[in-house]
């Protein structure tokens, strides 16, 4: 089972390894959601199907925190928090070195092309596009990369990947969005590092962190 970060009667939160899909895709590879349901079924000797609903999703080549709800009531409440932007999400990312600002707010309109499984920046708001907002700051300058912390304000398809590609700083390993070369395991150096939110039932403040994979840390 993946790295379990938090579990109670309502939530199941894990640290996903890169290259594992969060949910079933065309590859047919076993996904994180299936692994998690099996784990809960076996641990608690549950009969029948296990309910587990995805609250957030991260791309297959990325790593980090994934939130799942154990009940439909909890899922509804967490989805409402997502809609109201009441879940704070921080990412760590390595981008190819370029002359970007040390810190900035990126605002774009993105359009998703489902056939290509890719998003594109469009110049102005139009049909079938959504506003994408993130904040970032530079944590460290490396020889060939910049180590950034990103606060994700909105959660659009491939948002961090396409927005940094758009300013000439693609994510390390992300050849889909302009990186110079792929990594051996086909992962990219984008990691869901930290989340913070009020528990949907007891209202306690939850703050959770997840360490990035060795491939990421080796470059810092």
Please report the DSSP string for 101-120 in residue order.
-SEEEEEEEEEEETTTTEEE
**Residue 76, pLDDT above cutoff 70:** yes
Q: Which residues pair with 8 in a beta bridge?
A: none
Is residue 74 over pLDDT 90?
Answer: yes
Task: Report the b/e string of 15-52 with b at 16+ CB within 10 A.
Answer: bbebbbbbeeeeeeeebbbeebbebbeeeeeeeeebeb
Radius of gyration of the chain (CA): 18
* Residue 1 pLDDT level (bands cut at 50, 70, 90): low
Mean pLDDT of the chain: 94
| DSSP H or E stretch at residue 90 | strand 88-96
| pTM score of the predicted model | 0.93
The encoded tokens of residue 215 equal 């491939």
Q: Cα–Cα distance between 31 and 186 in angstroms, integer?
A: 16
Residue-range domains of the chain with CATH? 3-217 (3.30.2350.10)
In this predicted structure, the answer to whether residue 157 has a pLDDT above a threshold of 90 is: yes
Confidence at 125, pLDDT banded by 50, 70, 90: confident
pLDDT given at position 124: 77
């Amino acid at each position: 089972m993946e790295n379990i970060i938090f579990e109670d009667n309502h939530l199941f939160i894990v640290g996903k390894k890169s290259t594992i899909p969060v949910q079933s895709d065309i590859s047919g590879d076993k996904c994180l959601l299936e692994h998690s349901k099996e784990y809960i079924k076996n641990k608690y000797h549950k009969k029948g199907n296990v309910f587990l609903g995805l609250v957030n999703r991260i791309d297959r080549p990325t790593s980090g925190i994934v939130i799942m709800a154990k009940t439909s009531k909890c899922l509804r409440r967490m989805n409402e928090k997502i809609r109201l932007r009441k879940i704070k999400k921080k990412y760590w990312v390595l981008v190819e070195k370029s002359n970007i600002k040390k810190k900035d707010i990126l605002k774009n309109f993105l359009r998703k092309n489902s056939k290509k499984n890719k998003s594109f920046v469009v110049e102005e708001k139009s049909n079938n596009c959504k506003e994408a907002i993130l904040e970032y700051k530079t944590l460290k300058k490396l020889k060939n990369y910049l180590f950034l912390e990103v606060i994700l304000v909105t959660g659009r398809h491939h948002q961090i990947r396409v927005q940094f590609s758009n300013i000439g700083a693609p994510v390390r390993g992300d050849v889909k969005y302009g990186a110079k070369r792929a990594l051996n395991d086909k992962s990219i150096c984008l990691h869901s590092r930290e989340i913070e939110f009020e528990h949907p039932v007891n209202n306690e403040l939850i703050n959770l962190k997840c360490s990035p994979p060795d491939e990421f840390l080796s470059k810092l």
